[in-house]
């Protein structure tokens, strides 16, 4: 059976995409450089939150296969690149994984093939980095093969929107490339939105996340001065969002996490500085504000302990929820990490609980895991709700705690409860 598509990178983006294509009856090959991931998937076992073992087993039964064999990329009619693009040392995107994936495709490229980049990056990457590498063998984009960019929009843990019903933005190197990409995605995605070109599609993803980044920074800064002024910001937001137009609610927190919000806007900021020589001030200010939130939480913790006549040094501080968003195990860029590190640096006895994280690697064992959160909050000098997982009975935990610092605005008001 011919392979309709090879998905390169089988993580939070690539695997749900492969699932939907397989469900639509397409023969899908998954490629990843991690042999353990490939072996687990072929055995019907998932390694991401959004797909269960049963989901992966169903994919395998439907013809999905994972491989580390690069030579098999040439079997596919379409190659979709879904590899990570973390920040480099200079603040721009680290494109090494993208370049490696593109080079692998280039070695197997054949006439008529569709190549799509989904990895988030700066405007111009598809045309300036991907296209020359693919064309090095003599085939020409838009003439001999099709090239497009389609930004990933996966929101891990979102039960309402997934790969199928989230509109898919597509920008082609040429109109024919856009048509080929739209036809490919249209088989298993409900709505395809065509951008003018690859740069517009690349920038659309950055605009989406920059919008969120800046608005989160706005409410994070408001949280600080509202506390000083004795204003309940959570009540302010509830009142403001009653307006049926012109306002979208964003909420403060202990920092921002995940692969998108704390990282993607920096691609745009870095690109503006590098190409145009001036700063993207909104993004840089938002980054400054959001990155300061863990330190602000530490200061609030210290102030609350002072009210009980306790120093932060030597006090037991329990962190509840250390993932970057609720109800998933994903810890990428979680603000719980800098928060815990700063507490440790000030001499606190840091403990944590998270139903999705049995072992917290980034802290290297410096944070002790509490097995029972209810018993843990009763024994800790202060508890910080960092992430509100559905498994937590926040009312009970807040009532049981010596001091309860709620960074998510969900705990009932009380003498022992304090909000961000």
CB 120 within 8 A of CB 95: no
Give the CA-trace dihedral at 141, 78, 208, 386, to 10 degrees: -140
Cα R_g (the chain), whole angstroms: 23
Element (H, E) at 116: strand 114-117
219: left (phi over 0), alpha (psi -120 to 50) or beta: alpha
Query: What is the C-alpha to C-alpha distance for residues 404 and 271, in angstroms, rounded to an integer?
Result: 42
Name residues whose C-beta falls within 8 Å of residue 363's C-beta, 6 or more positions apart in sequence.
337, 340, 341, 344, 350, 352
CB 6 within 8 A of CB 80: yes
Written as six digits, the tokens of 303 are 């102030």
Q: List the catalytic residues.
A: 260
Angle at 350 between CA 344 and CA 354, to 5 degrees: 130
Written as six digits, the tokens of 63 are 């013809």
**Among 116, 135, 112, 142, CA closest to 202:** 116
Place of tokens 């009932």: 412
Place of tokens 């269960």: 52
Element (H, E) at 417: strand 417-419
The torsion angles phi and psi of 322, rounded to 5 degrees, stand at: -120, 10
End-to-end Cα distance, the chain: 57
Pairing of strands 146-149, 168-172: antiparallel
Query: What is the C-alpha to C-alpha distance for residues 6 and 29, in angstroms, rounded to an integer?
Result: 5
Dihedral sign from CA coordinates of 205, 209, 214, 219: positive
CB 324 within 8 A of CB 335: yes
Place of tokens 């302990």: 305
- Long-range contacts (CB closer than 8 Å, 24 or more residues apart) made by 159-162: 162/16, 162/20, 162/50
């Amino acid at each position: 059976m011919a392979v309709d598509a090879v998905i390169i990178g089988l993580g939070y983006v690539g695997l749900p995409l492969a699932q939907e294509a397989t469900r639509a009856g397409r023969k899908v090959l998954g490629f990843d450089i991690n042999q353990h991931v490939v072996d687990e998937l072929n055995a019907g076992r998932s390694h991401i939150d959004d797909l269960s073992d049963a989901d992966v087993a169903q994919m395998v039964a439907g013809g999905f296969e994972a491989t580390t064999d690069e030579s098999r990329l040439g079997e596919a009619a379409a190659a979709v690149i879904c590899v990570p693009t973390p920040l480099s040392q200079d603040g721009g995107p680290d494109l090494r994984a993208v370049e490696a994936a593109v080079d692998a495709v280039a070695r197997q490229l054949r006439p008529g093939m569709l190549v799509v980049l989904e990895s988030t990056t700066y405007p111009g990457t598809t045309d300036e980095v991907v296209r020359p590498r693919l064309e090095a063998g003599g085939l020409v984009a838009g003439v001999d093969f099709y090239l497009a960019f389609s930004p990933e929009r996966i929101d891990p843990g979102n039960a309402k929107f997934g790969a199928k019903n989230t509109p898919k933005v597509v920008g082609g190197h040429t109109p024919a490339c856009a048509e080929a990409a739209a036809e490919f995605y249209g088989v298993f995605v409900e709505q395809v939105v065509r951008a003018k070109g690859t740069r517009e599609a690349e920038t659309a993803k950055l605009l989406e996340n920059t919008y969120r980044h800046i608005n989160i920074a706005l409410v994070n800064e408001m949280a600080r001065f509202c506390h000083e002024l004795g204003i309940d910001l959570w009540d302010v937001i509830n009142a403001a969002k009653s307006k049926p137009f012109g306002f979208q609610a964003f909420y403060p927190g202990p920092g921002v996490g995940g692969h998108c919000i704390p990282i993607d806007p920096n691609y745009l900021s870095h690109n503006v500085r590098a190409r145009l020589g001036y700063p993207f001030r909104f993004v840089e200010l938002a980054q400054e504000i959001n990155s300061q939130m863990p330190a602000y939480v530490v200061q609030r913790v210290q102030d609350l302990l002072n009210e009980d006549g306790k120093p932060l040094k030597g006090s037991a501080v329990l962190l509840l929820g250390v993932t970057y968003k609720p109800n998933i195990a994903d810890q990428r860029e979680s603000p719980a990490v800098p928060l815990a590190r700063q507490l440790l640096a000030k001499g606190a006895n840091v403990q944590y609980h998270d139903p999705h994280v049995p072992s917290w690697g980034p802290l290297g064992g410096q944070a002790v895991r509490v097995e029972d959160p209810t018993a843990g909050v009763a024994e800790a000098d202060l508890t910080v709700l960092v992430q509100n997982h559905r498994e937590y009975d926040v009312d009970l935990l807040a009532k049981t705690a010596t001091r309860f610092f709620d960074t998510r605005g969900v705990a009932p008001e009380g003498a022992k409860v304090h909000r961000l």
